[in-house]
């Protein structure tokens, strides 16, 4: 028995040594492969650097040739300009005092025209800036300056209408649109909580709906709802003092409309 046990141990040891040797061999192969890849990358980088240096050298040579040509042209232009300047000075010396006064008047008129143009540009830019500020002020008008129709509630830069009659969800939406509005939408939880305090015990349809039985809620205009709105079920949504609930869109309920109206 002891001999068999010893043989088994040796067999296991040989097996483990073999596995260990295989692992070491694989590691060496991976290491060698990695080194070869790194060498290839280094060679590619060196080739790219050499190509860039050659391109840069060619570009510098072409720029140098172009600069020499420009210098030659500039020198010729300078000589021509000096000759013209000398002839102009000679003409000015031969001109009469009356000719000099005419040139002075012409220069004054040109300078005055340039100043007038600059003043006009500055004035125009100020008017544009003023108009932009006024537009921003109109967009940010306070809630107290919002104009709402009679019997509408003014809050959060919007106007709300709470109906006294009851209709289906679709009929309610048509009625709101006839009033230049839509079934109410909420931009914040504070806005919704304010309306919950204003409505009575009856629930009111507002602008949340699911279509084709899919439990994916959207506003009546197709936009996604905010994360703070938690609702489950399908159909159409209504709001009461207890929060948001759902019901069949064919049910008869009160409805609330909302719209953004003008400022004073």
Can you give the chain as a three-state secondary structure string? Answer: CHHHHHHHHHHHHHHHHHHHHHHHHHHHHHHHHHHHHHHHHHHHHHHHHHHHHHHHHHHHHHHHHHHHHHHHHHHHHHHHHHHHHHHHHHHHHHCCHHHHHHHHHHHHHHHHHHHHHHHHHHHHHHHHHHHHHHHHHHHCCCHHHECCCCCCEEECCEEEEECCCCECHHHHHHHHHHCCCEECCCCCHHHHHHHHHHCCCCCEEEEEECCCCCCCCEECCCCECCCCCCCCCCCEEEEECCEEEEECCCCCEEEEEEECCCEC
Q: What is the pLDDT of residue 6?
A: 78
Alpha carbon 107 to its chain centroid, in Å, reads 50
The verdict on residue 8 lying in a domain is: yes
Identify whether 228 is part of a domain. yes
CATH number, domain with residue 195: 3.10.100.10
pTM, to two decimals: 0.45
At residue 145, the pLDDT reads 55
Residue 233 lies in a domain: yes
In a domain, 245, yes or no: yes
Q: How many folded domains does the chain comprise?
A: 2
Residue (of 132, 192, 138) closest to 160 by Cα position:
192
- pLDDT score for 161: 95
Determine the pLDDT at residue 68.
61
Contacts of 205 (CB under 8 A, 6+ apart): 167, 169, 172, 183, 236, 237, 238, 253, 254, 255, 256
Instruction: Tell me, yes or no, whether 59 lies in a domain.
Output: no
What would the pLDDT profile of 15-42 be if each residue is shown by its tens digit? 888 888 888 878 888 888 888 888 888 8
- 252 within some domain: yes
pLDDT number for residue 198: 87
Range of the domain at 43: 1-51
In a domain, 101, yes or no: no
Which of 9, 33, 51 is the last residue in one of the domains? Answer: 51
Residue range 106-137, pLDDT digits in tens:
666 667 778 878 887 777 766 655 554 444 34
pLDDT at 134: 46
Which parts of the chain have pLDDT scores under 50? 88-89, 91-95, 132-140, 264
């Amino acid at each position: 028995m002891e001999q068999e046990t010893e043989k088994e141990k040796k067999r296991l040891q040989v097996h483990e040594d073999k596995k260990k040797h295989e692992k070491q061999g694989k590691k060496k192969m991976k290491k060698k492969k990695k080194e070869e890849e790194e060498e290839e990358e280094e060679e590619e980088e060196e080739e790219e650097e050499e190509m860039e240096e050659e391109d840069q050298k060619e570009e510098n040579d072409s720029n140098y040739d172009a600069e020499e040509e420009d210098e030659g042209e500039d020198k010729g232009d300078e000589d021509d300009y000096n000759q013209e300047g000398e002839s102009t000075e000679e003409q000015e010396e031969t001109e009469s005092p009356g000719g000099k006064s005419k040139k002075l008047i012409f220069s004054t008129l040109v300078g005055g025209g340039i100043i007038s143009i600059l003043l006009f540009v500055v004035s125009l830019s100020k008017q544009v800036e003023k108009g932009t500020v006024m537009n921003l002020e109109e967009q940010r008008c306070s809630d107290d300056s919002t104009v709402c129709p009679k019997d509408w509630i003014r809050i959060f830069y919007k106007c709300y209408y709470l109906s006294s009659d009851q209709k289906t969800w679709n009929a309610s939406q048509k009625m709101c649109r006839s009033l230049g509005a839509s079934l109410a939408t909420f931009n914040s939880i504070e806005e919704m909580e304010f309306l919950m305090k204003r409505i009575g015990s009856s629930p009111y349809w507002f602008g949340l709906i699911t279509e084709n039985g899919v439990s994916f809620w959207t506003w009546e205009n197709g936009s996604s709802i905010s994360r703070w709105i938690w609702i489950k079920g399908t159909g159409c949504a209504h709001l009461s003092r207890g929060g948001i609930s759902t019901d069949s869109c064919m049910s008869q309920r009160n409805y609330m409309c909302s719209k953004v109206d003008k400022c004073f």
